[in-house]
A and B are shown apart, each in its own frame.
Chain A
């Protein structure tokens, strides 16, 4: 990874560059576009090479060198909002603000930045007007001041006997910090790892890796300084909003999970990486950290035990790939959010090349319950190798959108009919996207599939982060296909050739196909195969599965055509 030596510099000279993105953002907010002198300035402030600060500034969507208006609107172009309007809200907003998508109005007043998901999938389309969220079918009217602003809260429901993830919101789970105080007072590091190992929980961020194994590796890896625990709140999957719910509404439980996990991993410094699209989650966590420190849960002498533990919030800058752990770490180091090949794994060489555990918000939120109630209680829930509960997120095309905690193993049909109440407005279902853009589309006739890591993989989808986005028949298959390719091309980090170039070629091919040029699909099959076999990380490797599943799930698309292209 090109910035590797820079992160070594940061470690060697004890100046982690976690400030880079924040400082660039501040310059961006003050002075419009990020220009060369902003880069010079920030590089001098943090003591990093200006070339690499320039590289980082050019990587993140929030920091693009495009000018900003006095009013900056981030408009959601995520899958759920796309499904809500077929993309019509984007053009309407551009007209309303007189600013092109990704540009600024002629008078410099307004700018419009398309973003992948603001976490309002249950009420889309949505936008962030400055720091003010607004959402609903009348979004454009809201932006024009012609309708009342609406910032609907996230509906949630625990469809389990005893909520785990939603223990603090929908259940009578242990009050936040209770378990932590007990564990740290007893000095019982082993208990956390033992119970979580017994629970069989697999990481909820998408990869499904057993959480306790990461902790053990990090605890055992040698380090010349602190070990780190990073809570991954870069909930990038369009369609998913459970992490936003937890960070905004139950931040203390998230922090307690971080503390427990860090204790097990022998980490002494925690971070919550919050995506910039979630300003409220950022603020809620910061406030909660201050409260927790005041209450003695954090600090230099936690509950009088001498244990030192601090947590800070890090704000992202607009990159889907930054949700991948190596990329996330790079962005915290003030570098481009590029993916690095593993090994070495972050648990050996992560943030500042020191042992680092990256766990998802939902995973960490389950930890206090698991430690309090015992791993065995958790392990009794679920099915097969998919133990415990999962919060699934249903988008606004459902009659009853929201976040639902369910036991793994329930059928999609149950979620679709009983929890979601089926598709609203009487239109038919074209396909369900499960597990985000790297998951896959499932057609209506596959709803008998179980919600589990294994069963979903068997039908070409993925549990991912548990998003379930219904796309109704008002959206055409080819449109959906282009949407997926556009996402892939926009978010490819650009490191490896197959993904960097393949996503662009795929998008261009589908656009040309939609424009009536069937020859554009020549080589399409070979392209998918090359990306799948040749890409460096899961992003590029999985895009082909996602686009194939669109073709397979959407009966209005000529699948044969897509598959036939010359190799």
Chain B
């Protein structure tokens, strides 16, 4: 279609509004109730324009273009109507409404554009008190112009429904919850309301401070694996505020309480600013030269006396790709060992292994955009509205607008309440449930026969195995009612656009890789991977760069791009490039490192950006391992539980102070740019790793992160087409990307699978019990996991306003169990496992099933991992965080 705007012809798509046409033509039309993230509303009436199709002025935002329409944005009547409408609005506001800096107030800009006389319709105003009950959001209802953007964005983007318009006529105003204080509402502090508010009625301190912003840095969020783009606004080398990038490829202008608000930790007074070296039993401040000298001497000595394999490094899924590349290079080249692993080991290693075995590549199969067209989600072992909030919000919106939802989770998560069917298997019985779902798909003719015949292998074996997993048998094993299992399989099997989504509830088990493989079967059987209609198999990766850390080869058996170190040709290529010999044998995995340390075989451990003493299972064992080592180096931003036990602590930079790239859950490589300088003498880990190599007398090359990326790409076919330069130009590129001219494969396996045979591998794997079973002494099954407001060990989030939102660890306990134990809500209880005992505050709730309990792991005061076991996935050694038998009792 065409439209003519102020005399200029523009081409517009069908369904475009007059506003779309005007923007396309470059004509400025002020708007206040419009937001590109929301459905048009048409309430403010400041976008009035005239057309040759209507008698009087019309609202540009809600009027659709007819072909050939002629639009005037400069028509006198229309402008006067818009101006007067805005003058009416302004007449209800206090003068401070117009005192915000123009770049931070759409209202101020609209008034300037239309030449508003603020006093023209002066009259009574509403007087309402400011609500500052929330740690981040301040609500000044006198500035509310009833545009309802806050309400609509909370409904239409976030899906929390915390706000509504209240009152009627002149009294209409936005209000949280049931009209009480903001902090008492259902608000999850995603901040979208403040982001959208055109007047500052809902704001945060940093935005409302009129001091000018010095710099805006676009970077990638360092919390969770979603990969949101953030615009970090800084002044005086401090973060003033963070806004999600409006055209962020993943988040599209949305964020969560962590990404948007939890940045205060970067300037926390207890940030590590100088190296610390243990001396006389105490950690004392030292210079970089002293610290590095100590490391060089000790690491060199241990390597030389006990062999390179007496040294190991735990790399960081929070670090950049470049840092991870450099860390594994440090170990392999400067030390000469394959003892390098990263914390993907303890979260998503089974996803990587399972996906690689089923389809060929160790990553999710489809882009996040495919969620927008998904007809059904099978969401298993994942609580994305807390752990991956932007993904969770997107799934919720899609479900509200009609997509079906099957949730597999022992816990009644928020999305479980939106599910068409919620399967609640006993922890540890996933494989039985997935085999049962496969059996129903097969039994009821819901298998895509043609796809299975042409593009897969192994179906017959599964068909035979499935005979043992009729829903009634699965009900016996898992407690999931047979009827629900059938219903779930039908919903998934019968709906087009199937998206499989999972999280750590699938992987962190004794049979985690089996869980991933049997889950992936469901996508394979229905032809949902490698097809146009399918929406794939998508693991929600835990930390910001857990995909990338593994991609970069920070693992004991692989080099960058999952190239096997056992492969002679691969090794030869890297040896040539790095100028050092490489060992073909795989090194130690993280849990093996601890065992080796306790056994005396491992003597030096470099820990980069991980708090293993808090986050790894069976903390008592981890502490024993740390104590057994002769040298433990911790690269940290705070004195974490691990750093306290280390021999040398090196002050590092946070993600807001780094240059590099992260790779998110859908394989998108995105730039990370420094918005701030690290405090004191703290340095980016990239520099620290290079300096440690230097202390060992090795030059790792790669003077900059960009150079490190280029070196990695030159050795890694699946990354060959990606570079910092290209990312700076194009924004985001997914791997595999084999040449600079290629766009990157957003959706995998359109032609063939990356397995040796080119076919997807269907797995026939029987159910086996988990590593830990309840007994009369430890009758309750404890599941651990993440909460919205905190992030893993909590070192970052506990140093922000998020602590005010959730100040302590809570143990979720079913009302029946609480009654039996005589435990009341809010009471401090003891939780004991076969390994340890902690205390936590009881949260009595039916989110958990009877006989089960749930706890986060964000607080050192309630160290959940003192309880968890050393049981690990048989394939990948991923720990069984999700099944621990415990005894709960009143304290004392």
Contact = CB atoms under 8 A, between A and B. Distances in A.
Contacts of A495: 43, 146, 172
Interface string A406-449: 00000000000000000000000000000000000000000000
Given A2-B164, A224-B402, A497-B43, A51 B177 contact: yes
B115 to A, nearest CB: 15
Contacts of A296: none
B7 interface: no
A40 B165 CA distance: 16
Given A12-B401, A55-B165, A533-B57, A341 B42 contact: yes
B126 to A, nearest CB: 10
Nearest to A55: B164
B116 to A, nearest CB: 13
Interface string B149-163: 001100110010111
Interface residues of A, number: 55
Contacts of A343: 64
Given A494-B172, A530-B81, A50 B120 contact: no
A530 B159 CA distance: 35
A508 interface: yes
Contacts of B402: 12, 224
Interface in A465-523: 489-498, 500-505, 508, 523
A105 B156 CA distance: 44
Interface in B130-162: 145-146, 148, 151-152, 155-156, 159, 161-162
B148 A2 contact: yes
Contacts of A2: 41, 148, 151-152, 155, 164-165
A49 B170 CA distance: 24
Contacts of A4: 39, 152, 155-156
Contacts of B80: 529
B85 interface: yes
A184 B59 CA distance: 44
A8 interface: yes
A51 B42 contact: no
Interface stretch (B179-187, B305-313, B657-665, B838-846): B179-187
Interface in B162-216: 162-172, 175-180, 185-186
B45 A341 contact: no
A54 B166 contact: yes
Given A2-B164, A5-B159, A523-B121, A498 B85 contact: yes
Given A2-B155, A505-B123, A493 B59 contact: no
Contact of B166 (A13, A58, A489, A503): A58
A139 interface: no
A538 interface: no
Contacts of A1: 41
Interface string B389-403: 000000001011110
Interface in B376-435: 397, 399-402, 418
B77 interface: yes
B563 interface: no
Interface in A268-308: none
A147 B167 CA distance: 38
A527 interface: yes
B57 A534 contact: yes
A509 to B, nearest CB: 8
A450 to B, nearest CB: 24
A497 B164 contact: no
Nearest to B63: A341
A1 B161 CA distance: 14
Say whether chain A's binding surface is mostly helix, strand, loop, or mixed: helix
A494 B401 contact: no
A39 B400 contact: no
Contacts of A6: 155, 161
Contacts of B120: 523, 526
Given A341-B42, A530-B85, A500 B148 contact: no
B123 A50 contact: no
Interface string B328-353: 00000000000000000000000000
Interface stretch (B86-94, B775-783, B794-802): B86-94
Contacts of A535: 45
Contact of A5 (B171, B178, B400): B400
A36 B120 CA distance: 38
Interface in B42-82: 42-46, 48, 56-57, 59, 62, 64, 77, 80-82
B175 A51 contact: yes
B84 interface: yes
Interface in A158-185: none
Contact of B165 (A319, A494, A503): A494
Contacts of A341: 40-42, 59, 62
Contact of A533 (B77, B145, B152): B77
A52 interface: yes
Q: Which among A51, A501, A530 has the highest number of chain B CB atoms within 10 Å?
A: A51
A498 B85 CA distance: 5
B91 A505 contact: yes
Contact of B185 (A51, A58, A497): A51
Interface in A34-69: 36, 39-40, 43, 49-55, 58-59
B591 to A, nearest CB: 44
18 contacts: A2-B148, A5-B397, A43-B178, A49-B161, A51-B177, A51-B185, A53-B178, A58-B166, A59-B168, A341-B41, A343-B64, A494-B168, A498-B85, A500-B172, A504-B169, A504-B170, A534-B82, A536-B45
Given A494-B146, A505-B123, 9 more contacts: A4-B39, A4-B155, A49-B161, A49-B164, A493-B169, A494-B167, A497-B89, A497-B146, A533-B57
The 6 A-B residue pairs whose C-beta atoms are closest, nearest first, are: A55-B164, A494-B172, A49-B161, A5-B155, A530-B84, A504-B170
